Each structure stands twice: as C-alpha cells, then as structure tokens.
Chain A
Amino acid sequence: MLTHAIGKRSNKVKNLVERGAVKKFAEAIGDLHPIFVCEETGKQSRFKQNIAPPTFPRVFDYGIIEELNLPEKGLIHGEQIYHYERPLHVGEDVHCYCEVKNYYERRGKSGEMGFLLLKRYGEDLEGNLLFTEEQVVIITETVRREMMV
C-alpha cells in the first residue's frame, strides 16, 4: 500500500533548538535539570552552553514527503531509536529531513498489519550528521482499509 513511498525523502527544513521550547519540553518530561535550562550551568559545563534532552527532536519539523499520506489517528508507535554524534546545543540551527526506509505487511492477530519504517535526520549547517531518529509505525487493518478508500 505504501511501497511506492520507500526511498522518498522530504526537503530539508531549518529548525532552531529554541531555549523556551527546550525548557517546556524538559518540564513536560519531568527533567528540569540545570544543564537543560540554567544558563550559568551551561556555561560552566563541558559544552559551554545548555543542551537539549535526547528525545527533544520530537518537536522538529522534518518537512513533507508527498507520497506519504498518513491518517491523523489510529497509528501505533512500535519502536523508536535515537543515535547521536553529540548532544544538541540550545540555540543552534539543525537541518532536518525524513526518509521512508521501508514498508511491509504482515498477517497478525488483528488482520493484515502494515509496518512503516521512517528515519529522520538532523544535520548541522555544514551538513555534518548530528542525530538520527528511526521510528516503526504500525498501521492496523482498520486504518489500512480507511486509507484505501
């Protein structure tokens, strides 16, 4: 159903690791550690600045893949894998994009399920990789039927 989207990529979008967004995110996961939110702690740290929590890239805009039309509801998040070259710095710009790595279908307990593998990338402005985020999204039979209408 989505096999035509495999290999497709979005255009890069420039995102800012914004101080206020980092604070709000750290608060929402109950981790208001000074390394994320206190400027003085950041300056004294090995990073010489504040950093963002590892799951913060959730907030970035990764652009749009035209071939990928997913419904808003009914998707199941199966797996999530982050890889970092280094922590993200508060105040830096990150170029983000997304790629469809794979799609396949398997018969399970509740019918034919779709498995979508998305990979998201964050690079610095020189094009060096900062992080990747891989996500497995499970599309149930009910949702698949709705998508085919």
Chain B
Amino acid sequence: MTTINELKIGECLDEITLSPVTRLDLIKYAGASGDYNPIHTIDEEAEKAGLPGVIAHGMWTMGNLAKLFTPFYEEAFIEDYSIRFKGMVFLNDVITLQAELRDSGEEKMNFKVKASNQEGQQVIKGSVVLRRWPQS
C-alpha cells in the first residue's frame, strides 16, 4: 500500500512478522534506549526475578509496532500512541505486528494496534491516532 487514504474502516495495514527475538536484539535496544535493566539481557538476573529467562523490553515491542505507520509520514503523523503491556516476550518468540482502522475522519484516523506471539497471544495492545497533515 502506498497511500493510507485508500484504507477503509475495518481494513488493516500490511502486517509485519519480525524475525525470532534474539539476545542481540535486546542488547541493542538496551544500548540504544539506555534501559539496562538486566532482566532483559542476563539469564541469571531474569531467573532471580522469577522469570524463566530474559524478556524483551516492553518498549522494544512498542517501538517495533510503530513502524507499521512510518511509511505514511507524508500523509499523517502519530498524534497519540497508547499501549497496555499484556504479556511477556521471550527469546525466539516470533512477533506479528498489526493495525486495523477503526474510525476515520477529515482530521484523524483511529487504529487498533497489537503485537502477538507465535501462539496468537497478545503481548501488547492499544491504539494509534494519526493526524492528517492539513492540505496545502
């Protein structure tokens, strides 16, 4: 899809399935974001916290999900982006990113967004409001 204006209510943006999560993905995100909480990178620390293994930063998943909208920056920008963190993402999980148009007006478009794992469980969910640029 090259333009977001053609999208109809109930339709989805092209979904993206990420490569299986690797430790290096999480180490890179820790470095890029400055979030060095060791439960995201070091197994022993994750286990001490009662987890079966390291988990992805919730913000890593939220950051990834936003890229569904990046191609449309000339038409509209993300005005509101709300996420509830529902489930944990572990190494080797395969995450799929989805956005469905729920409502559309002259100024704004409302999307329901979510990321799910290979079991179909939602790991994050929420909404994105795109604001269209004024026509010039």
Within 8 A of A (CB), among B71-88: 71, 73-74, 77-85
Q: How far does the Cβ of B21 sit from chain A's closest Cβ, in whole Å? A: 11
Within 8 A of B (CB), among A7-32: 21, 24-25, 27-31
Which A-chain residue is minimally distant from B74 (CB atoms)?
A46
Q: How far does the Cβ of B39 sit from chain A's closest Cβ, in whole Å? A: 7
B59 at the interface (CB under 8 A from A): yes
Which residues of the other chain, A, contact B29 by a CB distance below 8 angstroms? 28-29
Q: Which of the segments B5-13, B61-69, B103-111 contacts the partner chain?
A: B61-69
| Chain A window 65-80, contacts with chain B (Cβ cutoff 8 Å), 1 for yes, 0 for no | 0000000111011111
B18's partner among A30, A74, A78 (CB-CB below 8 A) is: A30
Q: State A59–B63 Cα separation when bound (angstroms).
A: 12
- Secondary structure dominating the interface of A: mixed
A81 at the interface (CB under 8 A from B): yes
Which residues of the other chain, B, contact A84 by a CB distance below 8 angstroms? 77-81
A51 at the interface (CB under 8 A from B): yes
A87 at the interface (CB under 8 A from B): yes
B35 A58 Cβ-Cβ under 8 A: yes
Indicate the size class of the contact surface on chain A: 20 to 34
A82 B32 Cβ-Cβ under 8 A: no
A58 B81 Cβ-Cβ under 8 A: no
Which residues of the other chain, B, contact A91 by a CB distance below 8 angstroms? none
A79 B85 Cβ-Cβ under 8 A: yes
| Chain B window 18-42, contacts with chain A (Cβ cutoff 8 Å), 1 for yes, 0 for no | 1000000100110111110111000
A83 B67 Cβ-Cβ under 8 A: no
B133 A46 Cβ-Cβ under 8 A: yes
Q: How far does the Cβ of A32 sit from chain B's closest Cβ, in whole Å? A: 10
A73 B60 Cβ-Cβ under 8 A: no
B70 at the interface (CB under 8 A from A): yes
| Other A-B pairs, 19, CB within 8 Å; known A28-B31, A55-B62 | A24-B31, A27-B28, A28-B28, A28-B60, A28-B63, A29-B29, A29-B66, A31-B67, A36-B70, A46-B74, A54-B78, A54-B81, A58-B59, A59-B33, A73-B45, A74-B49, A82-B78, A83-B79, A83-B80
Q: What are 12 A-B pairs with beta-carbon distances under 8 A? A: A24-B32, A25-B32, A25-B63, A28-B31, A30-B18, A45-B74, A59-B33, A74-B49, A76-B85, A78-B84, A78-B85, A87-B77
